[in-house]
Structure 1
Protein backbone atom coordinates (compact mmCIF):
# COMPACT_ATOMS: atom_id res chain seq x y z
CA UNK A 1 0.00 0.00 0.00
CA UNK A 2 2.84 2.43 0.80
CA UNK A 3 4.47 1.68 -2.57
CA UNK A 4 1.17 2.35 -4.39
CA UNK A 5 0.80 5.62 -2.50
CA UNK A 6 4.28 6.70 -3.56
CA UNK A 7 3.45 6.03 -7.23
CA UNK A 8 0.23 8.07 -7.24
CA UNK A 9 0.57 11.63 -8.50
CA UNK A 10 -0.92 13.42 -5.53
CA UNK A 11 1.66 16.17 -4.94
CA UNK A 12 1.48 19.65 -6.46
CA UNK A 13 4.25 20.33 -8.98
CA UNK A 14 7.34 22.07 -7.68
CA UNK A 15 8.57 25.35 -9.11
CA UNK A 16 11.51 23.47 -10.65
CA UNK A 17 9.24 21.10 -12.59
CA UNK A 18 7.03 23.97 -13.75
CA UNK A 19 10.05 25.92 -14.98
CA UNK A 20 11.43 22.87 -16.81
CA UNK A 21 8.03 22.34 -18.45
CA UNK A 22 7.92 26.01 -19.46
CA UNK A 23 11.32 25.64 -21.15
CA UNK A 24 9.70 22.99 -23.36
CA UNK A 25 6.68 25.21 -24.06
CA UNK A 26 4.41 23.21 -21.76
CA UNK A 27 2.45 25.95 -19.98
CA UNK A 28 -1.21 26.68 -19.36
CA UNK A 29 -2.75 28.14 -22.49
CA UNK A 30 -6.36 28.88 -23.46
CA UNK A 31 -7.00 29.14 -27.20
CA UNK A 32 -10.53 30.32 -26.49
CA UNK A 33 -9.20 33.20 -24.38
CA UNK A 34 -6.80 34.26 -27.14
CA UNK A 35 -9.49 33.99 -29.81
CA UNK A 36 -12.02 35.89 -27.72
CA UNK A 37 -9.65 38.80 -27.07
CA UNK A 38 -8.55 38.96 -30.73
CA UNK A 39 -12.18 39.10 -31.89
CA UNK A 40 -13.07 41.61 -29.20
CA UNK A 41 -10.03 43.74 -30.07
CA UNK A 42 -10.96 43.59 -33.76
CA UNK A 43 -14.51 44.74 -33.05
CA UNK A 44 -13.31 47.53 -30.77
CA UNK A 45 -10.77 48.62 -33.37
CA UNK A 46 -13.49 48.75 -36.02
CA UNK A 47 -15.75 50.77 -33.70
CA UNK A 48 -12.93 53.23 -32.87
CA UNK A 49 -11.18 53.52 -36.24
CA UNK A 50 -13.87 52.18 -38.56
CA UNK A 51 -15.21 55.64 -39.43
CA UNK A 52 -11.72 56.94 -40.21
CA UNK A 53 -10.99 53.87 -42.35
CA UNK A 54 -14.33 54.14 -44.15
CA UNK A 55 -13.83 57.82 -44.93
CA UNK A 56 -10.32 57.14 -46.27
CA UNK A 57 -11.65 54.30 -48.42
CA UNK A 58 -14.46 56.52 -49.70
CA UNK A 59 -11.95 59.20 -50.72
CA UNK A 60 -9.85 56.61 -52.55
CA UNK A 61 -12.89 55.26 -54.37
CA UNK A 62 -13.98 58.73 -55.41
CA UNK A 63 -10.52 59.56 -56.62
CA UNK A 64 -10.03 56.33 -58.58
CA UNK A 65 -13.53 56.37 -60.06
CA UNK A 66 -13.04 59.95 -61.25
CA UNK A 67 -10.06 59.06 -63.43
CA UNK A 68 -10.62 59.69 -67.11
CA UNK A 69 -9.11 57.89 -70.08
CA UNK A 70 -6.17 60.28 -70.25
CA UNK A 71 -5.34 59.70 -66.58
CA UNK A 72 -5.52 55.94 -67.01
CA UNK A 73 -3.10 56.05 -69.91
CA UNK A 74 -0.62 58.26 -68.00
CA UNK A 75 1.73 56.06 -65.90
CA UNK A 76 2.74 59.04 -63.78
CA UNK A 77 -0.87 59.85 -62.93
CA UNK A 78 -1.67 56.22 -62.08
CA UNK A 79 1.40 55.93 -59.84
CA UNK A 80 0.49 59.14 -58.02
CA UNK A 81 -3.10 57.93 -57.59
CA UNK A 82 -1.91 54.59 -56.22
CA UNK A 83 0.46 56.27 -53.73
CA UNK A 84 -2.29 58.66 -52.67
CA UNK A 85 -4.70 55.75 -52.11
CA UNK A 86 -2.17 53.87 -50.00
CA UNK A 87 -1.26 56.99 -47.99
CA UNK A 88 -4.93 57.71 -47.30
CA UNK A 89 -5.85 54.21 -46.09
CA UNK A 90 -2.62 53.17 -44.33
CA UNK A 91 -2.84 55.28 -41.09
CA UNK A 92 -6.30 54.04 -40.13
CA UNK A 93 -5.48 50.49 -41.23
CA UNK A 94 -2.27 50.43 -39.14
CA UNK A 95 -4.16 51.69 -36.08
CA UNK A 96 -6.67 48.88 -36.50
CA UNK A 97 -3.88 46.33 -36.92
CA UNK A 98 -2.12 47.66 -33.79
CA UNK A 99 -5.26 47.19 -31.69
CA UNK A 100 -5.65 43.63 -32.99
CA UNK A 101 -1.96 42.92 -32.37
CA UNK A 102 -2.16 44.14 -28.78
CA UNK A 103 -5.33 42.13 -28.18
CA UNK A 104 -3.68 39.02 -29.62
CA UNK A 105 -0.56 39.43 -27.48
CA UNK A 106 -2.58 39.98 -24.29
CA UNK A 107 -4.92 37.10 -25.09
CA UNK A 108 -2.08 34.63 -25.59
CA UNK A 109 0.01 35.73 -22.59
CA UNK A 110 -2.71 36.51 -20.05
CA UNK A 111 -2.78 32.86 -18.98
CA UNK A 112 0.68 31.38 -18.48
CA UNK A 113 2.64 34.55 -19.26
CA UNK A 114 5.05 35.19 -22.11
CA UNK A 115 7.07 32.13 -23.05
CA UNK A 116 9.32 31.64 -26.07
CA UNK A 117 11.07 28.36 -26.81
CA UNK A 118 12.38 26.53 -29.85
CA UNK A 119 11.53 23.16 -28.34
CA UNK A 120 7.96 23.23 -29.62
CA UNK A 121 9.15 23.84 -33.18
CA UNK A 122 11.82 21.14 -33.09
CA UNK A 123 11.29 17.79 -34.82
CA UNK A 124 10.32 14.93 -32.53
CA UNK A 125 9.41 11.42 -33.70
CA UNK A 126 6.56 11.14 -31.18
CA UNK A 127 4.69 13.84 -33.11
CA UNK A 128 4.42 11.41 -36.05
CA UNK A 129 3.23 8.47 -33.98
CA UNK A 130 -0.20 7.27 -35.28
CA UNK A 131 -0.88 5.53 -31.97
CA UNK A 132 -0.36 8.78 -30.04
CA UNK A 133 -2.70 10.55 -32.47
CA UNK A 134 -5.41 7.91 -31.99
CA UNK A 135 -5.06 8.18 -28.21
CA UNK A 136 -5.53 11.95 -28.43
CA UNK A 137 -8.60 11.52 -30.66
CA UNK A 138 -10.35 9.23 -28.18
CA UNK A 139 -9.12 10.83 -24.96
CA UNK A 140 -11.15 12.58 -22.30
CA UNK A 141 -9.69 15.90 -23.45
CA UNK A 142 -11.10 15.34 -26.95
CA UNK A 143 -14.53 14.76 -25.46
CA UNK A 144 -14.22 17.96 -23.46
CA UNK A 145 -13.18 19.85 -26.60
CA UNK A 146 -16.25 18.46 -28.37
CA UNK A 147 -18.49 19.70 -25.57
CA UNK A 148 -16.77 23.08 -25.72
CA UNK A 149 -17.34 23.23 -29.49
CA UNK A 150 -21.06 22.53 -29.05
CA UNK A 151 -21.17 25.16 -26.29
CA UNK A 152 -19.48 27.73 -28.54
CA UNK A 153 -22.05 27.17 -31.30
CA UNK A 154 -24.88 27.43 -28.78
CA UNK A 155 -23.53 30.63 -27.20
CA UNK A 156 -22.73 32.39 -30.49
CA UNK A 157 -26.02 31.29 -32.08
CA UNK A 158 -27.98 32.43 -29.03
CA UNK A 159 -26.15 35.75 -28.99
CA UNK A 160 -26.83 36.25 -32.71
CA UNK A 161 -30.52 35.57 -32.16
CA UNK A 162 -30.70 38.03 -29.26
CA UNK A 163 -28.86 40.70 -31.26
CA UNK A 164 -31.16 40.27 -34.28
CA UNK A 165 -34.15 40.52 -31.99
CA UNK A 166 -32.71 43.61 -30.26
CA UNK A 167 -31.87 45.45 -33.49
CA UNK A 168 -34.83 44.10 -35.52
CA UNK A 169 -36.66 47.44 -35.65
CA UNK A 170 -33.47 49.27 -36.65
CA UNK A 171 -32.77 46.72 -39.39
CA UNK A 172 -36.29 47.07 -40.78
CA UNK A 173 -35.95 50.86 -40.70
CA UNK A 174 -33.03 50.65 -43.15
CA UNK A 175 -35.48 50.03 -45.98
CA UNK A 176 -37.02 53.46 -45.37
CA UNK A 177 -33.70 55.31 -45.61
CA UNK A 178 -32.04 56.66 -48.72
CA UNK A 179 -28.42 56.45 -49.77
CA UNK A 180 -25.94 57.19 -48.26
CA UNK A 181 -27.72 57.28 -44.87
CA UNK A 182 -28.83 53.67 -45.23
CA UNK A 183 -25.24 52.54 -45.88
CA UNK A 184 -23.86 54.43 -42.84
CA UNK A 185 -26.65 53.12 -40.61
CA UNK A 186 -26.22 49.53 -41.82
CA UNK A 187 -22.46 49.67 -41.22
CA UNK A 188 -23.11 51.10 -37.75
CA UNK A 189 -25.52 48.23 -36.93
CA UNK A 190 -23.13 45.62 -38.32
CA UNK A 191 -20.27 46.94 -36.21
CA UNK A 192 -22.27 46.79 -33.00
CA UNK A 193 -23.69 43.36 -33.80
CA UNK A 194 -20.17 42.12 -34.57
CA UNK A 195 -19.01 43.55 -31.22
CA UNK A 196 -21.86 41.76 -29.44
CA UNK A 197 -21.02 38.43 -31.08
CA UNK A 198 -17.33 38.84 -30.18
CA UNK A 199 -18.19 39.73 -26.59
CA UNK A 200 -20.23 36.52 -26.29
CA UNK A 201 -17.04 34.49 -26.79
CA UNK A 202 -15.75 35.86 -23.47
CA UNK A 203 -18.24 33.56 -21.75
CA UNK A 204 -16.50 30.55 -23.29
CA UNK A 205 -13.07 31.99 -22.39
CA UNK A 206 -14.18 32.60 -18.77
CA UNK A 207 -14.91 28.87 -18.49
CA UNK A 208 -11.98 27.56 -20.52
CA UNK A 209 -9.17 29.62 -18.91
CA UNK A 210 -9.64 28.30 -15.33
CA UNK A 211 -10.13 24.79 -16.70
CA UNK A 212 -6.86 24.94 -18.68
CA UNK A 213 -5.03 26.21 -15.60
CA UNK A 214 -6.45 23.37 -13.50
CA UNK A 215 -5.72 20.80 -16.23
CA UNK A 216 -2.12 21.96 -16.53
CA UNK A 217 -1.57 21.58 -12.78
CA UNK A 218 -3.12 18.10 -12.87
CA UNK A 219 -0.81 17.06 -15.72
CA UNK A 220 2.22 18.39 -13.84
CA UNK A 221 1.42 16.68 -10.53
CA UNK A 222 4.16 14.51 -9.08
CA UNK A 223 4.44 11.40 -6.99
CA UNK A 224 5.89 11.59 -3.51
CA UNK A 225 8.97 9.72 -4.73
CA UNK A 226 9.50 12.27 -7.52
CA UNK A 227 9.34 15.09 -4.98
CA UNK A 228 11.90 13.30 -2.79
CA UNK A 229 14.21 12.63 -5.75
CA UNK A 230 14.00 16.25 -6.91
CA UNK A 231 14.78 17.48 -3.41
CA UNK A 232 17.82 15.20 -3.27
CA UNK A 233 19.03 16.38 -6.67
CA UNK A 234 18.55 20.07 -5.92
CA UNK A 235 19.38 20.25 -2.23
CA UNK A 236 21.69 17.27 -1.94
CA UNK A 237 21.29 13.92 -0.24
CA UNK A 238 20.35 14.51 3.45
CA UNK A 239 22.76 11.79 4.58
CA UNK A 240 25.65 13.36 2.68
CA UNK A 241 24.70 16.83 3.92
CA UNK A 242 24.58 15.51 7.48
CA UNK A 243 28.03 13.97 7.11
CA UNK A 244 29.40 17.22 5.68
CA UNK A 245 27.89 19.14 8.58
CA UNK A 246 29.49 16.69 10.97
CA UNK A 247 32.90 17.17 9.35
CA UNK A 248 32.46 20.94 9.46
CA UNK A 249 31.65 20.76 13.18
CA UNK A 250 34.73 18.59 13.79
CA UNK A 251 36.94 21.05 11.90
CA UNK A 252 35.45 23.94 13.84
CA UNK A 253 36.11 22.16 17.14
CA UNK A 254 39.66 21.39 16.08
CA UNK A 255 40.27 25.07 15.29
CA UNK A 256 38.82 26.04 18.65
CA UNK A 257 41.07 23.62 20.50
CA UNK A 258 44.08 25.05 18.65
CA UNK A 259 43.03 28.59 19.66
CA UNK A 260 42.62 27.85 23.39
CA UNK A 261 46.38 27.95 24.18
CA UNK A 262 46.55 31.48 22.71
CA UNK A 263 43.71 32.78 24.93
CA UNK A 264 44.31 35.20 27.80
CA UNK A 265 41.70 33.68 30.07
CA UNK A 266 39.04 30.95 30.20
CA UNK A 267 35.86 31.84 32.09
CA UNK A 268 33.89 28.82 33.38
CA UNK A 269 30.54 27.98 34.96
CA UNK A 270 32.54 26.00 36.35
CA UNK A 271 31.36 22.64 34.87
CA UNK A 272 28.74 23.27 32.20
CA UNK A 273 30.07 26.35 30.35
CA UNK A 274 33.52 27.52 29.29
CA UNK A 275 34.51 30.49 27.09
CA UNK A 276 38.07 31.41 26.07
CA UNK A 277 38.78 35.12 25.58
CA UNK A 278 41.68 36.85 23.88
CA UNK A 279 42.50 40.54 23.81
CA UNK A 280 45.39 42.22 21.97
CA UNK A 281 45.74 45.82 23.01
CA UNK A 282 45.95 48.18 20.03
CA UNK A 283 44.83 45.52 17.56
CA UNK A 284 41.37 44.66 18.81
CA UNK A 285 38.54 46.96 19.81
CA UNK A 286 37.24 44.43 22.33
CA UNK A 287 38.08 40.95 23.62
CA UNK A 288 37.23 38.16 21.15
CA UNK A 289 35.74 34.73 21.89
CA UNK A 290 38.23 32.22 20.43
CA UNK A 291 36.54 29.10 21.86
CA UNK A 292 33.37 28.21 23.70
CA UNK A 293 31.45 25.10 24.63
CA UNK A 294 29.13 23.34 27.05
CA UNK A 295 29.40 20.09 29.00
CA UNK A 296 31.95 17.79 27.28
CA UNK A 297 33.31 20.56 25.05
CA UNK A 298 33.67 22.81 28.10
CA UNK A 299 35.66 20.06 29.79
CA UNK A 300 38.03 19.83 26.78
CA UNK A 301 38.56 23.60 26.84
CA UNK A 302 39.43 23.52 30.55
CA UNK A 303 41.82 20.59 30.10
CA UNK A 304 43.68 22.31 27.26
CA UNK A 305 43.78 25.57 29.22
CA UNK A 306 45.28 23.78 32.25
CA UNK A 307 47.84 22.00 30.07
CA UNK A 308 48.94 25.32 28.53
CA UNK A 309 48.78 27.29 31.81
CA UNK A 310 45.98 29.57 30.59
CA UNK A 311 44.28 31.20 33.62
CA UNK A 312 40.86 29.74 34.41
CA UNK A 313 38.44 32.09 36.18
CA UNK A 314 35.25 30.85 37.76
CA UNK A 315 32.37 33.26 37.00
CA UNK A 316 29.13 31.38 36.23
CA UNK A 317 27.02 34.41 35.27
CA UNK A 318 29.68 35.89 32.95
CA UNK A 319 30.44 32.52 31.32
CA UNK A 320 26.76 31.92 30.49
CA UNK A 321 26.30 35.50 29.30
CA UNK A 322 29.27 35.45 26.93
CA UNK A 323 28.35 32.00 25.62
CA UNK A 324 24.77 32.98 24.71
CA UNK A 325 25.44 36.50 23.40
CA UNK A 326 28.69 36.17 21.43
CA UNK A 327 29.47 34.07 18.34
CA UNK A 328 32.78 32.34 17.88
CA UNK A 329 35.59 34.66 16.65
CA UNK A 330 33.40 37.72 17.36
CA UNK A 331 34.05 40.49 19.91
CA UNK A 332 31.94 40.60 23.03
CA UNK A 333 29.06 43.12 23.16
CA UNK A 334 29.64 46.53 24.70
CA UNK A 335 27.31 45.72 27.59
CA UNK A 336 29.84 43.16 28.85
CA UNK A 337 32.93 45.36 28.48
CA UNK A 338 33.01 46.33 32.14
CA UNK A 339 32.68 42.77 33.49
CA UNK A 340 35.26 41.31 31.08
CA UNK A 341 37.61 44.24 31.71
CA UNK A 342 37.64 43.40 35.44
CA UNK A 343 38.43 39.75 34.64
CA UNK A 344 41.27 40.67 32.25
CA UNK A 345 42.68 43.23 34.67
CA UNK A 346 42.72 40.59 37.42
CA UNK A 347 44.44 38.08 35.11
CA UNK A 348 47.10 40.55 33.95
CA UNK A 349 47.83 41.59 37.55
CA UNK A 350 48.02 37.95 38.55
CA UNK A 351 50.60 37.27 35.81
CA UNK A 352 52.71 40.20 36.96
CA UNK A 353 52.50 39.00 40.59
CA UNK A 354 53.60 35.49 39.64
CA UNK A 355 56.65 36.95 37.96
CA UNK A 356 57.50 38.63 41.26
CA UNK A 357 57.07 42.15 39.91
CA UNK A 358 53.96 43.32 41.71
CA UNK A 359 51.57 42.89 44.58
CA UNK A 360 49.03 40.13 44.81
CA UNK A 361 45.76 41.33 43.21
CA UNK A 362 42.55 41.54 45.18
CA UNK A 363 40.10 38.70 44.72
CA UNK A 364 37.76 39.10 41.76
CA UNK A 365 34.29 40.32 42.68
CA UNK A 366 31.68 37.56 42.74
CA UNK A 367 28.94 39.77 41.29
CA UNK A 368 30.33 41.27 38.11
CA UNK A 369 28.40 44.12 36.44
CA UNK A 370 26.26 42.17 33.96
CA UNK A 371 23.13 43.95 32.65
CA UNK A 372 19.80 42.32 33.41
CA UNK A 373 19.06 41.62 29.77
CA UNK A 374 22.34 39.71 29.37
CA UNK A 375 21.87 37.30 32.25
CA UNK A 376 21.17 33.70 31.23
Structure 2
Protein backbone atom coordinates (compact mmCIF):
# COMPACT_ATOMS: atom_id res chain seq x y z
CA UNK A 1 0.00 0.00 0.00
CA UNK A 2 1.39 3.41 -0.99
CA UNK A 3 2.01 6.00 1.69
CA UNK A 4 2.15 9.80 1.64
CA UNK A 5 5.11 11.80 2.93
CA UNK A 6 3.27 12.17 6.25
CA UNK A 7 3.12 8.39 6.60
CA UNK A 8 -0.62 8.10 5.95
CA UNK A 9 -1.75 5.25 3.74
CA UNK A 10 -3.10 6.18 0.32
CA UNK A 11 -6.27 4.14 0.17
CA UNK A 12 -8.63 6.45 -1.75
CA UNK A 13 -9.12 6.69 -5.48
CA UNK A 14 -8.01 10.05 -6.94
CA UNK A 15 -10.62 12.72 -7.50
CA UNK A 16 -11.28 14.11 -11.01
CA UNK A 17 -9.52 17.33 -9.98
CA UNK A 18 -6.48 15.37 -8.84
CA UNK A 19 -6.40 13.39 -12.09
CA UNK A 20 -6.57 16.62 -14.09
CA UNK A 21 -3.69 18.11 -12.09
CA UNK A 22 -1.61 14.99 -12.68
CA UNK A 23 -2.41 15.08 -16.39
CA UNK A 24 -1.35 18.74 -16.65
CA UNK A 25 1.94 17.97 -14.93
CA UNK A 26 2.63 15.05 -17.27
CA UNK A 27 1.98 12.35 -14.68
CA UNK A 28 -0.07 9.85 -16.64
CA UNK A 29 0.45 6.32 -17.91
CA UNK A 30 2.86 6.55 -20.84
CA UNK A 31 5.23 4.15 -22.48
CA UNK A 32 7.91 5.10 -25.01
CA UNK A 33 7.44 1.65 -26.51
CA UNK A 34 4.01 2.74 -27.78
CA UNK A 35 5.67 5.49 -29.80
CA UNK A 36 8.22 2.98 -31.09
CA UNK A 37 5.42 0.68 -32.27
CA UNK A 38 3.73 3.52 -34.17
CA UNK A 39 7.08 4.60 -35.64
CA UNK A 40 8.03 1.11 -36.83
CA UNK A 41 4.50 0.34 -37.99
CA UNK A 42 4.22 3.45 -40.14
CA UNK A 43 7.77 2.98 -41.39
CA UNK A 44 6.94 -0.57 -42.48
CA UNK A 45 3.68 0.53 -44.13
CA UNK A 46 5.42 3.35 -45.99
CA UNK A 47 8.26 1.05 -47.00
CA UNK A 48 5.81 -1.51 -48.39
CA UNK A 49 3.82 1.11 -50.30
CA UNK A 50 6.91 2.84 -51.69
CA UNK A 51 8.90 -0.29 -52.48
CA UNK A 52 8.24 -0.15 -56.27
CA UNK A 53 9.32 3.51 -56.34
CA UNK A 54 12.38 2.82 -54.20
CA UNK A 55 13.45 -0.13 -56.36
CA UNK A 56 12.96 1.84 -59.57
CA UNK A 57 14.79 4.92 -58.28
CA UNK A 58 17.71 2.92 -56.93
CA UNK A 59 17.94 0.83 -60.11
CA UNK A 60 18.07 3.96 -62.30
CA UNK A 61 20.69 5.52 -60.02
CA UNK A 62 22.92 2.43 -60.05
CA UNK A 63 22.52 2.03 -63.82
CA UNK A 64 23.63 5.64 -64.23
CA UNK A 65 26.68 5.06 -62.04
CA UNK A 66 27.70 1.84 -63.82
CA UNK A 67 27.25 3.41 -67.27
CA UNK A 68 29.71 6.16 -66.34
CA UNK A 69 32.40 4.01 -64.73
CA UNK A 70 34.65 4.14 -67.78
CA UNK A 71 34.63 7.93 -67.94
CA UNK A 72 33.75 8.89 -64.37
CA UNK A 73 36.37 11.03 -62.67
CA UNK A 74 36.02 11.90 -59.01
CA UNK A 75 37.49 15.38 -58.75
CA UNK A 76 36.95 18.33 -56.45
CA UNK A 77 34.80 19.92 -59.17
CA UNK A 78 32.73 16.85 -59.96
CA UNK A 79 32.24 15.50 -56.44
CA UNK A 80 29.50 17.99 -55.43
CA UNK A 81 27.46 16.88 -58.45
CA UNK A 82 27.89 13.19 -57.57
CA UNK A 83 27.01 13.86 -53.94
CA UNK A 84 23.94 15.89 -54.94
CA UNK A 85 22.72 13.01 -57.12
CA UNK A 86 23.16 10.58 -54.23
CA UNK A 87 21.31 12.85 -51.80
CA UNK A 88 18.50 13.29 -54.31
CA UNK A 89 18.19 9.52 -54.72
CA UNK A 90 18.35 8.84 -50.97
CA UNK A 91 15.86 11.62 -50.23
CA UNK A 92 13.39 10.30 -52.79
CA UNK A 93 13.61 6.82 -51.26
CA UNK A 94 13.82 7.56 -47.54
CA UNK A 95 12.41 11.01 -46.78
CA UNK A 96 8.70 10.07 -47.12
CA UNK A 97 9.27 7.04 -44.88
CA UNK A 98 11.08 9.11 -42.25
CA UNK A 99 8.41 11.83 -42.25
CA UNK A 100 5.62 9.27 -41.96
CA UNK A 101 7.38 7.45 -39.12
CA UNK A 102 8.04 10.72 -37.27
CA UNK A 103 4.39 11.82 -37.52
CA UNK A 104 3.26 8.37 -36.39
CA UNK A 105 5.51 8.58 -33.32
CA UNK A 106 4.00 11.99 -32.48
CA UNK A 107 0.54 10.48 -32.86
CA UNK A 108 1.50 7.66 -30.48
CA UNK A 109 2.66 10.19 -27.90
CA UNK A 110 -0.48 12.28 -28.33
CA UNK A 111 -2.68 9.23 -27.99
CA UNK A 112 -1.27 8.50 -24.55
CA UNK A 113 -1.71 12.09 -23.36
CA UNK A 114 -5.18 12.26 -24.94
CA UNK A 115 -3.76 15.00 -27.13
CA UNK A 116 -3.56 17.41 -24.21
CA UNK A 117 -0.65 19.85 -24.21
CA UNK A 118 1.21 19.59 -20.89
CA UNK A 119 3.78 22.41 -20.67
CA UNK A 120 4.67 21.53 -17.08
CA UNK A 121 5.90 18.13 -18.24
CA UNK A 122 8.63 19.68 -20.40
CA UNK A 123 9.75 22.31 -17.90
CA UNK A 124 13.37 21.72 -16.78
CA UNK A 125 13.54 20.26 -13.28
CA UNK A 126 16.85 21.52 -11.88
CA UNK A 127 16.19 19.73 -8.59
CA UNK A 128 17.00 16.49 -10.39
CA UNK A 129 20.48 17.72 -11.34
CA UNK A 130 22.10 16.18 -8.30
CA UNK A 131 25.38 14.40 -9.19
CA UNK A 132 25.56 12.54 -5.87
CA UNK A 133 22.01 11.27 -6.20
CA UNK A 134 22.66 10.43 -9.85
CA UNK A 135 25.74 8.39 -8.91
CA UNK A 136 23.71 6.48 -6.32
CA UNK A 137 21.01 5.77 -8.90
CA UNK A 138 23.57 3.97 -11.06
CA UNK A 139 23.84 1.24 -8.42
CA UNK A 140 20.24 1.36 -7.21
CA UNK A 141 17.71 -1.45 -7.51
CA UNK A 142 15.88 0.64 -10.10
CA UNK A 143 18.90 0.62 -12.41
CA UNK A 144 19.17 -3.15 -12.02
CA UNK A 145 15.49 -3.46 -12.92
CA UNK A 146 16.03 -1.33 -16.02
CA UNK A 147 18.93 -3.56 -17.04
CA UNK A 148 16.75 -6.66 -16.67
CA UNK A 149 14.00 -5.00 -18.73
CA UNK A 150 16.52 -4.14 -21.46
CA UNK A 151 17.78 -7.73 -21.52
CA UNK A 152 14.20 -8.99 -21.71
CA UNK A 153 13.52 -6.72 -24.67
CA UNK A 154 16.64 -7.99 -26.41
CA UNK A 155 15.66 -11.62 -25.84
CA UNK A 156 12.12 -11.04 -27.12
CA UNK A 157 13.28 -9.20 -30.24
CA UNK A 158 16.02 -11.73 -30.93
CA UNK A 159 13.52 -14.56 -30.57
CA UNK A 160 11.17 -12.90 -33.06
CA UNK A 161 13.84 -12.03 -35.64
CA UNK A 162 16.11 -15.08 -35.44
CA UNK A 163 14.01 -17.28 -37.79
CA UNK A 164 14.28 -14.62 -40.51
CA UNK A 165 17.99 -14.08 -39.89
CA UNK A 166 18.59 -17.84 -40.08
CA UNK A 167 16.76 -18.10 -43.41
CA UNK A 168 18.67 -15.10 -44.76
CA UNK A 169 22.02 -16.69 -43.88
CA UNK A 170 21.01 -19.84 -45.79
CA UNK A 171 20.10 -17.94 -48.97
CA UNK A 172 21.98 -19.13 -52.10
CA UNK A 173 23.08 -15.55 -52.73
CA UNK A 174 25.93 -16.03 -50.26
CA UNK A 175 27.29 -19.15 -51.95
CA UNK A 176 26.89 -18.45 -55.67
CA UNK A 177 26.98 -15.66 -58.24
CA UNK A 178 23.78 -13.64 -58.18
CA UNK A 179 22.06 -11.19 -60.47
CA UNK A 180 22.23 -7.58 -59.29
CA UNK A 181 18.46 -7.16 -59.42
CA UNK A 182 18.02 -10.23 -57.24
CA UNK A 183 20.31 -8.60 -54.67
CA UNK A 184 18.02 -5.54 -54.65
CA UNK A 185 14.96 -7.75 -54.22
CA UNK A 186 16.71 -9.77 -51.52
CA UNK A 187 17.66 -6.65 -49.54
CA UNK A 188 14.14 -5.21 -49.79
CA UNK A 189 12.45 -8.47 -48.83
CA UNK A 190 14.83 -9.01 -45.91
CA UNK A 191 14.26 -5.47 -44.62
CA UNK A 192 10.49 -5.97 -44.72
CA UNK A 193 10.61 -9.39 -43.07
CA UNK A 194 12.94 -8.31 -40.25
CA UNK A 195 10.99 -5.10 -39.64
CA UNK A 196 7.71 -7.02 -39.48
CA UNK A 197 9.19 -9.37 -36.88
CA UNK A 198 10.59 -6.47 -34.88
CA UNK A 199 7.16 -4.81 -34.98
CA UNK A 200 5.50 -7.97 -33.66
CA UNK A 201 8.00 -8.16 -30.81
CA UNK A 202 7.61 -4.47 -29.99
CA UNK A 203 3.81 -4.80 -29.86
CA UNK A 204 4.22 -7.50 -27.21
CA UNK A 205 6.77 -5.40 -25.28
CA UNK A 206 4.66 -2.23 -25.53
CA UNK A 207 1.53 -4.00 -24.31
CA UNK A 208 3.34 -5.30 -21.24
CA UNK A 209 5.07 -2.00 -20.51
CA UNK A 210 1.90 0.07 -20.90
CA UNK A 211 -0.04 -2.29 -18.63
CA UNK A 212 2.68 -1.86 -15.99
CA UNK A 213 2.71 1.92 -16.43
CA UNK A 214 -1.08 2.05 -15.98
CA UNK A 215 -0.83 0.02 -12.78
CA UNK A 216 2.05 2.14 -11.47
CA UNK A 217 0.31 5.40 -12.35
CA UNK A 218 -2.90 4.28 -10.64
CA UNK A 219 -0.97 3.32 -7.51
CA UNK A 220 0.95 6.62 -7.46
CA UNK A 221 -2.27 8.61 -7.97
CA UNK A 222 -3.97 7.23 -4.88
CA UNK A 223 -4.85 9.75 -2.18
CA UNK A 224 -5.13 9.64 1.59
CA UNK A 225 -8.51 10.01 3.25
CA UNK A 226 -7.41 13.42 4.53
CA UNK A 227 -6.50 14.61 1.01
CA UNK A 228 -9.90 13.59 -0.33
CA UNK A 229 -11.62 15.57 2.44
TM-score by length of 2: 0.76
* Offset, 1:192: 1.0
Q: Which residue of 2 aligns with 1:172?
A: 171
Q: Which residue of 2 aligns with 1:59?
A: 60
1:147 and 2:152 equivalent?
A: no
Q: Which residue of 1 aligns with 2:101?
A: 100
* Offset, 1:136: 5.0
Q: Which residue of 1 aligns with 2:158?
A: 157
Larger Rg: 1
Distance (Å, rounded) in 1 between the aligned partners of 2:61 and 2:75 = 15
* Offset, 1:27: 2.1
- SS in structure 2 of the partner of residue 11 of structure 1: coil
Q: Which residue of 2 aligns with 1:217?
A: 218
Q: Answer 1 or 2: higher relative contact order, Cα 8 Å, separation at least 6.
A: 2
Distance (Å, rounded) in 2 between the aligned partners of 1:71 and 1:21 = 60
Distance (Å, rounded) in 2 between the aligned partners of 1:144 and 1:109 = 27
**Is the alpha carbon distance of 1:178 and 1:125 closer, same or farther for their aligned partners in structure 2, counting shifts above 3 Å?**
closer
Q: Which residue of 1 aligns with 2:184?
A: 184
**Is the alpha carbon distance of 1:130 and 1:74 closer, same or farther for their aligned partners in structure 2, counting shifts above 3 Å?**
closer
Q: Which residue of 2 aligns with 1:24?
A: 25
Distance (Å, rounded) in 2 between the aligned partners of 1:131 and 1:70 = 58
- SS in structure 1 of the partner of residue 149 of structure 2: helix
Gaps of 5+ in 1: 229-376
Cα root mean square deviation, aligned: 3.5
Aligned residues: 220
Contact 1:9 1:222 in 2 (8 A): yes
Q: Which residue of 1 aligns with 2:13?
A: 12
Contact 1:53 1:89 in 2 (8 A): no
Q: Which residue of 1 aligns with 2:123?
A: 122
Distance (Å, rounded) in 2 between the aligned partners of 1:159 and 1:150 = 14
1:142-197 deviation per Cα after TM superposition (whole angstroms, max 9, x unaligned): 454333212112111212323334x36x8333234622244034211243123212
**What does residue range 193-232 of structure 1 map to in structure 2 within 5 Å?**
193-228=194-229
**Is the alpha carbon distance of 1:215 and 1:136 closer, same or farther for their aligned partners in structure 2, counting shifts above 3 Å?**
farther
* Offset, 1:20: 1.4
Gaps of 5+ in 2: none
1:16-55 deviation per Cα after TM superposition (whole angstroms, max 9, x unaligned): 1122122222222101222233233323332332342232
Contact 1:40 1:199 in 2 (8 A): no
**Is the alpha carbon distance of 1:185 and 1:224 closer, same or farther for their aligned partners in structure 2, counting shifts above 3 Å?**
same
- SS in structure 1 of the partner of residue 178 of structure 2: coil
* Offset, 1:82: 6.7
Contact 1:111 1:209 in 2 (8 A): no
**What does residue range 1-376 of structure 1 map to in structure 2 within 5 Å?**
7-64=8-65, 66-67=67-68, 68=71, 89-130=90-131, 132-133=133-134, 137=138, 141-165=142-166, 167=167, 171-174=170-173, 175-176=175-176, 178-187=178-187, 188-228=189-229
- SS in structure 2 of the partner of residue 202 of structure 1: helix
Identify the structure with the greater helix proportion: 2
Contact 2:10 2:222 in 1 (8 A): yes
Distance (Å, rounded) in 2 between the aligned partners of 1:219 and 1:134 = 25
